[in-house]
Amino acid sequence: MPRLLFILILFVVSFLVVRSIRNKLDKNKHIDSDDANRGDQTNNNNKTIMLKCDECGLHVPEHEAIKQGNHVFCSLEHARQRLE
């Protein structure tokens, strides 16, 4: 009887160890893929300067913003409204 109990405990412990190792490997794969995706997004975000529209407060990329003097706008309509 003690021998059977020992074998049963050994089996359960082995099962838990294998399951734990698999979970860690799966998490590492998931984290690595997330880091790669975040790296791409971070590089793109660092290159884009966002400017705030003086009319509505919307932030737009610098290359899409309408600049007139010291003022920045998100659209021609807002530039016209503010400067009239």
Per DSSP bridges, beta strands 59-61 and 66-68 are unpaired
pLDDT digits (tens, 9 = 90+) for 2-58: 899 999 999 999 999 999 888 888 877 666 555 555 555 545 556 789 999 998 999
Residue 19's pLDDT is 92
Sign of CA dihedral 34, 36, 39, 44: negative
Q: What angle do CA 80, 82, 84 make, to 5 degrees?
A: 65
Give me the DSSP letters along 18-36. Answer: HHHHHHHHHHHHHHHHHHH
Spatial separation of the C-alpha atoms in residues 65 and 58, rounded to whole Å: 10
Spatial separation of the C-alpha atoms in residues 32 and 49, rounded to whole Å: 28
Q: Where are the domains of the chain?
A: 1-47, 48-84
Q: What is the pTM of this model?
A: 0.44
